[in-house]
Amino acid sequence: MTDRQFLIRDLLVLFGLTGWALSLPFYGSEFMVSMALTCLMYVTLSSSWALFCGSTRYLSLATSAFFGIGAYTSALALAQLSWLQSIALGAALATAVAVVMGAAVLHLRGTYFAVLTFGMTELIRHAITYFEKSVTGTVGRVLTVVPERDAIYLTMLALAVLALGTSIGLRRTRFGLALMGIGADEQRAQTLGVNTRLIKIAGFAMTAAFAGAVGAAMSVRWTYIDPHTVFNPFIGFQTVLIALIGGAITLWGPLIAAIVFSLLAETLRLKLPHLYMMSLGLLLILSVLYLPGGLASVRTDTARGWWRDTQAWWRERRYEWSGDKERDKRRERERRLV
């Protein structure tokens, strides 16, 4: 397929999925809508994470920081501003923090970058906890002005579509190409004329804007927020896990993994809460070992390859267990002696 055909296919898939998600509140139960909301949240978070971190291979654990900033912003601003305004404000604040954070740590790579983004998340969380305790004198905040369920759902859907649309569009622009070049060989990209510093900060800020907007939209779902819930590092970890399991450089990988993940989360968490985390870990190990490209890279050939590998493995075991291997070895040794 040509690039244009790929674009049309991607847009059609996005259009279809959007239509399906739009129809869900009309026939789905309360439980299904709430599950879809979680699903949309992780679709947006991991797709926007993969936008920057997937192509540049900078592993950021700061998603929960931006999420929390967005959540707190909307919790504080909803009393004065409208729903959309407070979401925009949350996204803007998260972007501003990301620009500062990016300027400080984006020259580091690999583990150092991951650990520092995580450290900064913790720093922000504890700073807000301290501020709330000593200045405001509260632990958390109760949200009194809450928009209705459909408004939240539609906003989250719009954000998810926006994230996926950006992802579709970005990989066709010069900016997306620059991000990919940074991931492949940063210094080489630099000598070919890419202002890597600027591009990295812009990409990081873009990721943060989405995470901030998602945080702002999702905070109203809890009605009571405290730094512990909204700056929960697990939000960041889960985003990374979903993107990695789905395939961080693919377009639909984060979406597929987010759906699988939220289905797993909702079904397993209710029945077998321990099994849920274990299966998540197992899924990650399996995908890293056998599917380095993520769930989105599964093709019929992949399955066929696994089948062939399993068959070969099984043939080897039969050869070994039947005693034929031992006998062949012995004969080989005897032949050498003669």
Query: Binding to other proteins by residue 193, rule CB under 8 A?
Result: yes
d(CA 242, CA 295): 10
Parallel, antiparallel, or unpaired for β 141-142 and 224-225?
antiparallel
Contact with other proteins (CB under 8 A): which of 109, 197, 304, 330? 197
Q: Which helix (H) or strand (E) holds 141?
A: strand 141-142
Using the rule CB under 8 A, is 194 a contact of other proteins?
yes
- Using rule CB under 8 A, residue 176 touches other proteins: no
Which 242-271 positions form the footprint of other proteins (CB under 8 A)? none
Among 7, 99, 177, 260, binds other proteins (CB under 8 A): 177
| Contact flag: residue 174 with other proteins (CB under 8 A) | yes
Q: Choose which of 71, 114, 152, 189 interacts with other proteins (CB under 8 A).
A: 189
Q: Does 195 bind other proteins (CB under 8 A)?
A: yes
2 binds other proteins (CB under 8 A): no
Residue 33 burial by CB count (10 A; 0-12/13-18/19+): exposed, middle or buried?
Answer: middle
Binding mask 105-144 for other proteins (x = CB under 8 A): ----------------------------------------
Q: Is the distance from CB of 294 to CB of 257 less than 8 angstroms?
A: yes
Q: Which of 70, 102, 181, 227 binds other proteins (CB under 8 A)?
A: 181
Task: Tell me how long the chain is.
Answer: 338
Minimum distance between the CB of residue 193 and other proteins, rounded to whole angstroms?
A: 4
Q: Are 116 and 107 in contact (CB under 8 A)?
A: no
- The span from the CA of 60 to the CA of 2, in Å, is 33
Tell me if residue 142 falls in helix, strand or coil: strand
What is the smallest separation between the CB atom of 128 and other proteins, expressed in angstroms? 35
- Under the criterion CB under 8 A, does residue 326 sit at the interface with other proteins? no
- Residue 100 Cβ vs other proteins, minimum distance, rounded to whole Å: 20
| Nearest distance in Å: CB 199, other proteins | 10
Q: How many residues line the site for other proteins (CB under 8 A)?
A: 17
Beta bridge partners of 225: 141
- Is position 188 an interface residue for other proteins (rule: CB under 8 A)? yes
- If you write DSSP's letter for every residue of 200-243 in order, what string do you get? HHHHHHHHHHHHHHHHHHHHHHHSEE-HHHHT-HHHHHHHHHHH
Site string for other proteins, 4-33 (x = CB under 8 A): ------------------------------
DSSP for residue 159: H
Q: Compute CA distances 95 → 22, 131, 163, 217, 241, whole Å.
A: 28, 21, 15, 16, 23
Nearest CB to other proteins, comparing residues 185 and 316 = 185
196 near other proteins (CB under 8 A): yes
Name the residue nearer to other proteins (CB basis): 7 or 162: 7
d(CA 31, CA 310): 40
Give the separation between CA 208 and CA 6, rounded to whole angstroms: 27
**Site residues for other proteins per CB under 8 A:** 174, 177-178, 181, 184-185, 187-197
